[in-house]
Amino acid sequence: MSAHEVAIPKVKTLVLVWAALICFTALTTWVASFEFGEWNIVIALLIAVTKASLVVWIFMGVRHVTTLTRLFVVAGLVWLFIMILLTASDYKTRNWTYQAQPWANNPAHGLSR
């Protein structure tokens, strides 16, 4: 394929990927109704990564691009992973103790009189 040709996926491929995305969305909704404790976020992120991979690979056409473009896609994903890692480390190292706010026990429930 030359530099000016664009690979266009077949309609069947696009419809199958669309159907898979709809199924994964339904799966996300279904799984959210169960209590898996700390695994809820892991399961949701796995489904989200799968959906994003389908979109990037098929709809955005990363499977047909040059190696340099793939390098930039991977670099973006590495940067995203670094940001998630920093956010998670900040979240895990904080002392989270809940303290009720003074307005929480207000009989007016925050309404003006």
Spans of all domains in the chain? 11-65
Confidence check: pLDDT of 32 > 80: yes
Give the pLDDT of residue 107: 60
- 12-21, 22-31, 84-93: the lowest-pLDDT one: 84-93
Q: What average pLDDT does the chain have?
A: 86
Report residue 20 CA to chain centroid gap. 16
Give the pLDDT of residue 53: 92
Round to whole Å and give the CA distance between 42 and 36.
10
DSSP 95: -
Give the pLDDT of residue 64: 85
Is the CB of residue 95 less than 8 Å from the CB of residue 41? no
Round to whole Å and give the CA distance between 69 and 57.
12
